[in-house]
Structure 1
């Protein structure tokens, strides 16, 4: 068997030819002129709409688990090369159509076949990768995945990634402070939410949060969201939620866009891209610039704004090359951000940030069963202080993340696929003041090995099991298993799973040693243990005709939760001072339920609603986690119609959150009786809702070219909360944009 496998691998390397590019599919030769390579079966044909008979442009046809695949041209024509004499399961997909698998025997040097596709209302055939690190349609993955498609992002013309997530994921909130934009979900903060771009984690800013300004919505293919622990696949920090932003890749000889968007506070967005796909080569160049005058919710203190004036620019270049069994991708991104002071500020300094991101990957098929992928990823974030009067700049902090990963997707059987991998992560944090006067740079690393098996046990039962071993330089070893299964009888899908998560302490928690003004002395704890979680979930999903409804219940238990607390210290001279210390004291238990409904009363009208209930409890104090909202609702409605035979749409999006819990426990001792007195104080932030109206019109469209105009109102009911800062939204804003696509 071993010799047979080696022989087949050599045969594959010698004679196998994968999918041709789109440019080649435009020049398909006639059978009389086709020069067919010995041992190759050339399959040509069209993918067409079953009702209209028209070709479906950019429909895809591929062989799962391999690099064999191609996209149709503008007329739905395709050309694909297969090994003669073999049998294939061809997977045919197109947005808005029902996926289908076709059994094809590659007998003969040349075959021709037309494929009909039936239109579908729900895009349940969208391919997702976050839950398994392999390509699976959203309807066939055992890991419940929420999806924000590009069409929804475009129809609502969301300002940024934060806007898109907050209006889509119930219970998720963004709040800003001097450190940056902070996420809250299920009572958990930034450090429990893992943000990925194309499967790779973003570095944090030196203050802790992710800088979301560096991410443009224009080049997003889709956003995939998974709640709960996923450390078996993604390692540390994957405890509360994963957000994976999937970007687009060019598919035509020339494509791109130019966009301008303007709103209140002189917010101006300029965005553009040019991409090409020619034969085996793809290239995409992107540019994005965003600027604002900032805004202030407290005009009584005009020297400091709620959101400072700022401007940022992003340049990105993506390159790709695919030939036979080999695929190479590389990209580089440069991001510049300048956060200035308001006009009446008395400060003499402000911040500039520079971010550089590099990625390179190599995919190689080995024989029939193995697909290797080697990835290097580096994300380097630097923050500098600008001394305005001195006209000088100095680095004050940086955060660097580097990853090297090798995976092998092994598909020995049609119903079994395995993933093996090894990964090395290296983090380097520099801070001019945060780690004390002697050591300003802190480094940690981890080494990982992981495995996953995806087994279609029965036609209706899919089981996925995985395991990761991690050795972390700061806290030692961790073991994180997971198992997920899906049972799908008829229109129903039942999913259940267990996964273990862990989060390593960050450099601030381990090594802090600095004075926070006159408030406290912040001291890290190098003896901290890693936080660990156990996540259980069960969900049911029902799809019928124009209705899709899903319900999920879950429990996430976090052990050794790291807490910061102020401690009063009295020295030998009787002088009392305050220290901020970190310790493993809290156990958190988060239970919840979520219901999501998608409904098309008619094909032109789309209605979406989600409700989330969260009970996030500190098991030591029996209090709700600070910042938790028990109830949250998000909804979206859109209507597509024609005006003068041109496409138009109107969309309304909104989200509501119940009061944000802010309970505090104070324990005192009665000096006379010695009795311990427990006092609970509550200072909740009020419930609120934000709503957005968007109207879109396409006055001109020709083939792949289109001119799209958008106008809308952000925060329709002008909700502001300068008293409690439930939200940092500045109030009603009218916006408009114009987009030219080609």
Structure 2
């Protein structure tokens, strides 16, 4: 089934290319469609998507609306090479080019969001109700964005008001499990003043995938998002943008332990304030002055309602404040009037970032301080060649200074074919948890200590006579924990063929100094004490192909495929050296693993594919769409104790296909009725809490 689907998609892509000779005479090619596809995330300046030398995915508002998705994780999961992965808590993080959620930076209007669970950012916190477009930069982007952009950047761009008349929309969607999504979006523009206001309410009664286990798989929840944006143009050279966003969620919580049903709730609150003053000093020089503050809070309380004994009572409160100044200068070209070339655009910026976290499992509130500066030069040395060269320097209070360079090139071979390549350095700073965590599981009895507090806390455990043996020396815990880093390579081409477009990108990401847990001591109770260390070296490599074709003005189809290999370098070498064993279930003997038995990293699928059809029926004011998604098998954790994923492990999720579809009908020009369903093939798995079977919905939207 896997190979049939992949072969079908590739065959369709091949047919697109073959159809070129039959449609050369058609005027409305895909080129004209891309003229408005302007993005800012990849270069921090406005660039047309088709002209970029970097691998970028753009998801526009029309695609979001037609798909019927309501949260960010849903729409991203339908893009090639972007996988959403649920952790043990059911939170959905994102994986790009096989790189985990910990290393993907999430932005909204160019500024970062905070609040991660064990490094994982829950994308379902973000509604798509007022999004203009989503920009995804794949591969290292630390040369512009610093830490956490090691594997890529996702930037959510909200809509800017355009018309003087009050405009916007109001919508209501109800679906399976009493899932309700309500939106109100208002926008208006005057001569110098513009404003936008958006409110969203999202709720569900939850669902249960396993009746044999007490409680629900996903508990009932309700959340609200409010976003206000103000724009003021003082004159044609000076403009102000301000925004404020507030998010609040309450969710029931439950947990059964020793036949006792603990009950309670979890709460999340987040608010962001953002102000930016844009000043056009000269026709060639523009400077932006920016202030940004965000605060994310989460609490959890679980207690026995009868005895009032508390099982869990935790708090998480993270703050970030960041002032930044950046400018962009375009150099005039002597040949500009004759060739349309420019000598280039220089973009540079500097800023300070102040991070603070107050958490239950920390002894005290901890703070990070960092200063940074970056520069990037974008130029065309000859007519068909575009080069982007940039670098960033970060000075941090808790780890060694980081220098992050990047180089990208794009060459236009002819009107239909271009090639592009890039190489860049990415890094991720050790986070608060890895440095200051102090947690002991009250049920099992193990302990996890942050690297910076491990020595002192371990000594306390020794003095309390809880330690049986210490497995590391003092010197091993005395060196500073280094930032994780990677070098990413991308090489690809873009082919336009009549009404079609095909893009191929080969990638390789090499990581070193990855931070993972390590046993540093054994406790008298038989459990372990863990801390964090730099020791992992991994790589992800493969390729992606995206092909789209406009059969008629009304019918569009597209297909995408990713091949991914992701391995730990040391474990791969250990397997090659016959140093990794597994017990043969038939003979009962331990046998050495072969290289073909080593599957790769946790939660990575070898194959991912999608096929999409969008059909408009203008005479009936109707559009229909279908999206087929395929993910091949992957493993969730090691089950045979050899510390890697191999074909003998039993935690594999078999490959599966999901089918999403929606049909929309517009009445009286302003009122749209949409009926749709996700996961129409009714796929479920108790080990995937985000897959509860068929999810139908009905949506009404009024545009004014």
Q: TM-score band, normalised by the shorter chain?
A: 0.7 to 0.9
* Residue 687 of structure 1 pairs with residue 655 of structure 2: yes
Equivalence for 2:53: 142
> Distance in 1 between the 2:106 and 2:553 partners?
34
Deviations 1:592-636 (A, max 9, x none): 101100111112111111100111110010151111111110221
Q: How far 1:244 moved relative to its partner?
A: 1.1
- The equivalences for 1:247-262 within 5 A come to 247-253=158-164, 254-262=166-174
Q: How far 1:415 moved relative to its partner?
A: 3.4
CA contact under 8 A between 2:161 and 2:196: conserved in structure 1? yes
Equivalence for 1:512: 437
Q: Which SS does the other structure have where 1:314 is aligned? A: strand
CA contact under 8 A between 1:379 and 1:401: conserved in structure 2? yes
Q: How far 1:317 moved relative to its partner?
A: 1.0
Cα gap change, 1:555 to 1:401, in 2 (>3 Å): same
CA contact under 8 A between 1:656 and 1:688: conserved in structure 2? yes
* Residue 229 of structure 1 pairs with residue 133 of structure 2: no
CA contact under 8 A between 2:484 and 2:512: conserved in structure 1? yes
Q: How far 1:365 moved relative to its partner?
A: 1.1
Equivalence for 1:431: 359
* Residue 637 of structure 1 pairs with residue 613 of structure 2: yes
Deviations 1:673-702 (A, max 9, x none): xxxx9998423221112111100111121x
Q: How far 1:118 moved relative to its partner?
A: 9.9
> Distance in 1 between the 2:645 and 2:81 partners?
34
* Residue 193 of structure 1 pairs with residue 104 of structure 2: yes
Equivalence for 1:481: 405
> Distance in 1 between the 2:138 and 2:302 partners?
43
- Counterpart pick for 1:650 among 599, 616, 624: 624
Equivalence for 1:282: 194
CA contact under 8 A between 1:664 and 1:680: conserved in structure 2? no
Cα gap change, 1:152 to 1:424, in 2 (>3 Å): same
> Distance in 2 between the 1:387 and 1:727 partners?
21
Q: How far 1:138 moved relative to its partner?
A: 0.5
- The equivalences for 1:343-422 within 5 A come to 346-385=261-300, 396-413=315-332, 414-422=342-350
Equivalence for 2:535: 585
- Counterpart pick for 1:660 among 628, 634, 653: 634
Cα gap change, 1:223 to 1:595, in 2 (>3 Å): same
> Distance in 1 between the 2:95 and 2:81 partners?
11
> Distance in 2 between the 1:119 and 1:726 partners?
38
- Counterpart pick for 1:735 among 674, 697, 700: 697
Equivalence for 2:75: 164
Give the alignment's TM-score, normalised by structure 2. 0.81
Q: Which SS does the other structure have where 1:313 is aligned? A: strand
* Residue 333 of structure 1 pairs with residue 245 of structure 2: yes
> Distance in 2 between the 1:118 and 1:503 partners?
41
Equivalence for 2:367: 443
Q: How far 1:395 moved relative to its partner?
A: 7.3
> Distance in 2 between the 1:141 and 1:509 partners?
36
> Distance in 2 between the 1:217 and 1:464 partners?
31
CA contact under 8 A between 2:255 and 2:263: conserved in structure 1? no
> Distance in 2 between the 1:581 and 1:558 partners?
20
- Counterpart pick for 1:454 among 378, 397, 400: 378
Equivalence for 1:181: 92
Q: Which moved more, 1:257-266 or 1:658-667?
A: 658-667
- The equivalences for 1:526-675 within 5 A come to 526=452, 527-566=480-519, 569-570=522-523, 576-622=526-572, 623=598, 624-642=600-618, 645-661=619-635, 664=638
Q: How far 1:441 moved relative to its partner?
A: 1.4
CA contact under 8 A between 1:568 and 1:576: conserved in structure 2? no
Q: How far 1:119 moved relative to its partner?
A: 9.2
CA contact under 8 A between 2:217 and 2:689: conserved in structure 1? no
Equivalence for 1:307: 218
Q: How far 1:206 moved relative to its partner?
A: 5.3
Q: How far 1:707 moved relative to its partner?
A: 1.3
> Distance in 2 between the 1:678 and 1:736 partners?
42
> Distance in 2 between the 1:234 and 1:523 partners?
29
> Distance in 2 between the 1:206 and 1:588 partners?
23
Deviations 1:70-109 (A, max 9, x none): xxxxxxxxxxxxxxxxxxxxxxxxxxxxxxxxxxxxxxxx
> Distance in 2 between the 1:183 and 1:428 partners?
24
Deviations 1:105-136 (A, max 9, x none): xxxxxxxxxxxx99966325410111101000
CA contact under 8 A between 2:174 and 2:180: conserved in structure 1? yes
CA contact under 8 A between 1:168 and 1:635: conserved in structure 2? no
Q: How far 1:726 moved relative to its partner?
A: 4.4
Q: How far 1:302 moved relative to its partner?
A: 3.6
CA contact under 8 A between 1:711 and 1:737: conserved in structure 2? yes
> Distance in 2 between the 1:662 and 1:310 partners?
26
> Distance in 2 between the 1:629 and 1:600 partners?
30
Q: How far 1:711 moved relative to its partner?
A: 0.2
Deviations 1:1-33 (A, max 9, x none): xxxxxxxxxxxxxxxxxxxxxxxxxxxxxxxxx
- Greater helix share, structure number: 2
Ranked by relative contact order (alpha carbons within 8 Å, sequence separation 6 or more), the top structure is: 2
CA contact under 8 A between 2:81 and 2:97: conserved in structure 1? no
Equivalence for 1:79: none
Give the alignment's TM-score, normalised by structure 1. 0.77
> Distance in 2 between the 1:275 and 1:431 partners?
39
Deviations 1:238-286 (A, max 9, x none): 1222111111111012111100000010101110011110001101111
Cα gap change, 1:206 to 1:382, in 2 (>3 Å): farther
Q: Which SS does the other structure have where 2:64 is aligned? A: helix
CA contact under 8 A between 1:227 and 1:241: conserved in structure 2? yes
CA contact under 8 A between 2:132 and 2:159: conserved in structure 1? yes
- The equivalences for 1:56-205 within 5 A come to 122-178=33-89, 180-205=91-116
Q: Which moved more, 1:359-368 or 1:208-217?
A: 208-217
> Distance in 1 between the 2:94 and 2:490 partners?
22
Cα gap change, 1:259 to 1:372, in 2 (>3 Å): same
Q: How far 1:646 moved relative to its partner?
A: 3.5
> Distance in 2 between the 1:667 and 1:291 partners?
40
Deviations 1:542-589 (A, max 9, x none): 11321100111111001101112455515xxx6543122211111011
Gaps of 5+ in 2: 1-27, 333-341, 453-479, 573-597
Deviations 1:370-411 (A, max 9, x none): 101011111101113458879x99971112222211001011
> Distance in 1 between the 2:501 and 2:624 partners?
22
Deviations 1:483-518 (A, max 9, x none): 101101221111111100000011111111111233
* Residue 521 of structure 1 pairs with residue 447 of structure 2: yes
Q: Which SS does the other structure have where 2:253 is aligned? A: coil
Deviations 1:154-181 (A, max 9, x none): 1111131111001123351231532733
Cα gap change, 1:665 to 1:732, in 2 (>3 Å): closer
Cα gap change, 1:395 to 1:560, in 2 (>3 Å): closer
